[in-house]
């Protein structure tokens, strides 16, 4: 199997099992194919992106004592993980000229996203909701429609969405703990650890691909397309240490920390 075939399966299959099927160990990348940029990912009928106002809001952390709230949270987060996976598949199909080492690294991250999707589906089911019981949004996918090159991707997904998730995962883990759901909290802490590696993938490749002499921050900020912006790369409880562990430099972390989340 080639990287392109794996990416197309993730991106275009309407079977959830196929989208979440592991990549073979050795993938060929000798023929990455022509660029394609589909408007929507393939999805089973119950997971087709629904109109904006029909999808549930994320329950507040304080509501996680209720199992119904935790079920909704897992459902929403499973869809976030699935979208991240699909966006990575899109990047492999849309930018076939990117270095093979970058593409192979992305396949490794995708296997984590497949696992994360499954973990949220499993915990959501244990809390009473099957994946597809609720309408799902396409927030992350839609933001990826503005990506024009791998640097747009690196700024927008690893450094904004996965960066912010360093904060969200631990905030939710604590909320699940307060709700007495140790297993849900463990899933969130596991994803937090993986997300540190995913942010590292983002900053390392941004450094390799940025123009000579450009700073990490200017490259990051310059490759975000509105409404993506640096303040979207953090949550309320700022995890400084996790960002340093991911390899962001102190100046980059200071700048993020000085921003108000989402402003
Ligand atoms: Fe993930
Ligand atoms: Fe991730």
Give the ligand with the smallest distance to the CA of 188.
1
Mean of all residue pLDDT scores within the chain: 97
Q: Which ligand is nearest to the CA of 115?
A: 1
Write the burial class of residue 263 (CB in 10 Å: 0-12 exposed, 13-18 middle, 19+ buried).
exposed
Over 90: is that where the pLDDT of 263 sits?
no
How much distance in Å is there from the Cα of 117 to the middle of ligand 1?
7
Largest CA distance in the chain: 53
Which ligand sits closest to the CA of 161?
Answer: 2
Instruction: Return the HEC string of 40-77.
Output: CCCCCHHHCECCHHHCCCCCCHHHCCCHHHHHHHHHHH
Q: Is the pLDDT of residue 7 over 90?
A: yes
Check whether 200 has a pLDDT greater than 90: yes
Ligand minimally distant from the alpha carbon of residue 113: 1
Point out the ligand nearest to the CA of residue 187. 1
pLDDT digit string, tens, across residues 17-63 = 999 999 999 999 999 999 999 999 999 999 999 988 899 999 998 99
The torsion angles phi and psi of 136, rounded to 5 degrees, stand at -120, 150
Q: How far is the CA of 154 from the centre of ligand 1 (A)?
A: 15
Phi (first) and psi of residue 145, to 5 degrees: -65, -20
pLDDT value at residue 52: 83
Backbone angles phi, psi at 193, to 5 degrees: -60, -45
Q: Which residue has the tokens 């993730």?
A: 10
pLDDT tens, 143-184? 999 999 999 999 999 999 999 999 999 999 999 999 999 999
Q: Ligand 1 centre and the CA of 212: distance in Å?
A: 31
pTM for this entry = 0.97
* Distance of alpha carbon 145 from alpha carbon 84, whole angstroms: 13
Taking the centre of ligand 2 as the mean of its atom positions, its distance from the CA of residue 31, in whole angstroms, is 26
134 CA → ligand 2 middle, Å: 23
Which ligand minimizes its atom distance to the CA of 116? 1
- The CA–CA distances, whole Å, from 204 to 109, 190, 208 equal 14, 22, 6
3-state secondary structure 103-141: HHHHHHHHHHHHHHHHHHHHHHHHCCCCCCCCCECCHHH
């Amino acid at each position: 199997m080639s990287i392109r075939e794996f990416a197309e399966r993730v991106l275009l299959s309407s079977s959830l099992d196929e989208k979440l099927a592991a990549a073979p160990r050795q993938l060929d990348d000798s023929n990455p194919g022509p660029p394609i940029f589909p408007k929507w990912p393939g999805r089973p009928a119950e997971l087709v992106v629904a109109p904006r106002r029909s999808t549930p809001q994320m329950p507040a952390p304080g509501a996680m004592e209720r199992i119904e709230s935790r079920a909704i949270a897992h459902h929403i987060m499973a869809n976030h993980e699935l979208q991240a996976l699909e966006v990575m598949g899109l990047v492999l199909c849309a930018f076939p000229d990117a270095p093979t080492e970058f593409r192979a690294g992305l396949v490794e991250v995708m296997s984590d996203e497949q696992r994360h999707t499954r973990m949220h589906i499993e915990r959501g089911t244990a809390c009473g909701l099957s994946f597809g019981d609720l309408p799902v949004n396409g927030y992350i996918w839609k933001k990826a429609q503005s990506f024009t090159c791998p640097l747009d991707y690196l700024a927008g997904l690893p450094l904004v969405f996965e960066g912010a998730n360093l904060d969200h995962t631990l905030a939710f883990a604590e909320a699940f703990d307060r709700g007495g759901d140790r297993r849900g909290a463990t899933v969130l802490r596991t994803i937090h650890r993986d997300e540190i590696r995913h942010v590292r993938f983002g900053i390392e490749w941004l450094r390799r691909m940025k123009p000579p002499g450009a700073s990490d921050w200017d490259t990051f900020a310059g490759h975000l397309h509105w409404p993506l912006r640096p303040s979207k790369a953090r949550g309320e409880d700022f995890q400084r240490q996790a960002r340093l562990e991911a390899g962001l430099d102190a100046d980059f972390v200071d700048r993020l920390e000085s921003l108000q989340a989402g402003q």
